[in-house]
Structure 1
Amino acid sequence: MNQEMTRETKINIIIDARPNMKHIILCVNDEQLDRMVEEVQKELNRELIEAMYSF
């Protein structure tokens, strides 16, 4: 996890990937937010790899 990301940046990453989590995200602590960002990044990486191999 890139520790240089601000809380706002992390929140925006998650909201962009999972808009339905918008209200939940504002209530999580920093550790939970970091874990959520990691999960979103993993999911986006999987989607990217799938897209690369679908051509």
Structure 2
Amino acid sequence: MITFLKTAAVIAAMVAIIPLAVWAGSGNWRHAAHALKQYLIAMGVLVVPVVVLAAITSLPW
């Protein structure tokens, strides 16, 4: 359970970097929220196909 909490904390910290950096640069939370949305969409486009392919290749095992 502790490993899951550590992993979740690290992922949350890595995702929080994007809106905090944009907020620091622009001073506007709306820009930070928009940047976070765009970042999560881009990461989804990159990660989802890899996860699907990994699931397909490990399915026969």
TM-score of the aligned structures, taking structure 2 as reference length: 0.46
Determine which structure has more spread, i.e. the larger CA radius of gyration: 2
> Which ranges of structure 1 fall in alignment gaps of 5 or more residues?
1-8, 16-21
- State the identity %: 5
Structure with larger RCO (C-alpha < 8 A, sep 6+): 1
Instruction: Give the structure with the higher percent helix.
Output: 2
Structure 1 vs Structure 2 CA RMSD:
2.5
In the alignment, what sits opposite 1:51? Answer: 50
The aligned length equals 38
**Structure 2, unaligned runs of 5 or more:** 1-12, 55-61
Runs of 4+ in 1 over 3 A off after TM superposition: none
Q: 1:38 corresponds to which residue?
A: 37
